[in-house]
Amino acid sequence: MTTTEKVHRFSGKRELEELIQTCVSIENRRFNPFLLDIAEALSIIRQHSNQLRTLDDHLLDMRAITSVARVVGLQSAHLRFQSSSLFIDPSMVKQKLDSLSREQLAEFLLLSWHPIVELEQLTLASTKEAKEFWERMLSFFERRKRLHLGPFDNPEATNLAELAKMRVVDEKAYTRKMQDLWNELKKRAGEDETVDYWDFIKASNFAQTVTRAQLVSFLVSYGYANLQRKDNTMFLVPKAKPHPHPEGSPLSFPIPITKEALVRAK
């Protein structure tokens, strides 16, 4: 085989591979099926048909033909779809989706939605299984013995303070905590009307610091305070009256709580 022939074969192989790749992309809905000129694709396949020597060459040729055939099928399906009432251009759909509100979209779905009625029920087999499980199950005290939990204490009554100490419930409601923190912020801001963010959230331990940072994020989101940045420093500016954003916070600003930042704070 001469060098020219070799180059010819190599470029032919590459062209067929590119053709197959284009067909695969069309099948995966990345492109419109009419992007491929079928006559041109067939002429490429025909052009290289006399250079098929090995089994791999023939397989590649076959893959190219079947890929083009699939695209022809997709073109036919596309035409059928365009003539149906469901046809809207995907780019137009995307534009519409961007411009419509969530409420509008939900309403459209509700107007076209007929949910299925589904009832769950006990079957004879599942009832039998449940009964067998219940009968085989050891008593509570038997199962407890296996866990080696020591002597069994009878249940006792407790109060809210005790539960709060055990961290089962919070002593104060969340809104109350926010209110207290807002008052603290106003007090600490004083005449300057600003407080350094890190100074304010820093507490005696890390868990407390994270809790304060979370509360502060709600104070800012709900319009009780503003967060301002000057160079590398962040300041909290309390508001005299809360000014909530009805549509939620206009932007999101993540603040990582790092050891270095806490050390730098007074």
Residues binding other proteins (CB under 8 A): 28-30, 73-74, 76-78, 80-81, 85-90, 92-94, 96-121, 123, 247-249, 251-252, 254
| Residue whose entry in the numeric block shows the structure tokens 């041109």 | 40
Closest to other proteins by CB, 115 or 190: 115
Instruction: Report the chain's C-alpha Rg in angstroms.
Output: 35
Closest to other proteins by CB, 47 or 76: 76
Closest to other proteins by CB, 13 or 177: 177
Sheet containing 195-196, strands listed edge to edge, beginning at the edge strand earlier in sequence? 195-196, 233-238, 225-230
Closest to other proteins by CB, 10 or 87: 87
Backbone angles phi, psi at 192, to 5 degrees: -65, -30
Distance from C-alpha of 195 to C-alpha of 219, rounded to nearest angstrom:
14
Q: Which helix (H) or strand (E) holds 230?
A: strand 225-230
Distance from C-alpha of 236 to C-alpha of 246, rounded to nearest angstrom:
21
Q: How far is the CB of 13 from other proteins (least distance, A)?
A: 25
Q: How far is the CB of 112 from other proteins (least distance, A)?
A: 4
Closest to other proteins by CB, 28 or 154: 28
Q: How far is the CB of 186 from other proteins (least distance, A)?
A: 25
Q: How far is the CB of 161 from other proteins (least distance, A)?
A: 30
Q: How far is the CB of 90 from other proteins (least distance, A)?
A: 4
Give the single-character DSSP code of 235.
Answer: E
- Please name which of 172, 199, 205 lies closest in space to residue 184, comparing C-alpha atoms: 199
